[in-house]
Amino acid sequence: KAGVTQTPRYLIKTRGQQVTLSCSPISGHRSVSWYQQTPGQGLQFLFEYFSETQRNKGNFPGRFSGRQFSNSRSEMNVSTLELGDSALYLCASSRDPSRQGNSGNTIYFGEGSWLTVV
Amino acid sequence: GENVEQHPSTLSVQEGDSAVIKCTYSDSASNYFPWYKQELGKRPQLIIDIRSNVGEKKDQRIAVTLNKTAKHFSLHITETQPEDSAVYFCAAENTGNQFYFGTGTSLTVIP
């Protein structure tokens, strides 16, 4: 069974540009969440999508957005890039977060997309 | 919202010794606590998890303990090996199915 797949793996962008990152979840997984990982801040939650709807959102500015398609694949977009957006962006998928209130919804990470803003 | 604190941020141990990483959480409604291991340049991978109705779980050299009253949980690695060197993250899942991660512990096992 293929794992979570993220593309592109590495990219370099210039300040002010925008970027779109893609994530294909594990087959059968309906939830996709995104995290930003930086050396000093650890794993910061961006947002989570389930059935094409954003269910949870972290504390990031509106420049960070995402969407999910009917096949559960997800994209995240960052507009007007800033130097501080340089990070590893991780996507994670899980099977069934619709069990609201039921814990143990294991999430599995992709390899990530390394974004460098210059 | 939930706040997860993790200590220590770095840890060095001699091969064969034990390593302990501790996390605290703030939301008493959080009820699932996974631990992830991230090797350099690789994805975080789940190594062990524990649910709130369990106090301890063990898998070979790895164990996790949970104290719900005190709102803290710990990862214990015994008989450490060089391949255990990595960054370890704890996490807590709240009732909204949202995960909050600790800031990570960089473990170095010295041969």
Q: Per the CB < 8 Å rule, is B95 touching A103?
A: yes
Q: Report DSSP letters for A80-98, one per residue.
A: S--GGG-EEEEEEEES-TT
Q: Is the pLDDT assigned to residue A58 strictly greater than 70?
A: yes
**How many CB contacts within 8 angstroms connect chain A with chain B?**
64
Average pLDDT of B89-103? 88
Q: Is the pLDDT of residue A98 over 70?
A: no
CB contact under 8 A, B43 and A90: yes
Q: pLDDT for A10-48, tens place per residue?
A: 999 999 999 999 999 999 888 999 999 998 778 999 999
A107 to chain B: closest CA residue? B46
Q: Distance between CA B110 and CA A95 in Å, rounded?
A: 38
Residue A50 to residue A69: CA distance in whole angstroms: 10
**Nearest Cα to Cα of residue B93 among A35, A106, A99:** A106
How far is it, in rounded angstroms, from Cα A66 to Cα A71? 15
pLDDT higher than threshold 60 for residue A101: no
Nearest residue in chain A measured CA to CA from B93: A103
Name every chain B residue with its beta carbon within 8 A of the beta carbon of A100.
95-97
Handedness of CA A110, A35, B84, B86 (dihedral sign): positive
| pLDDT score at A96 | 67
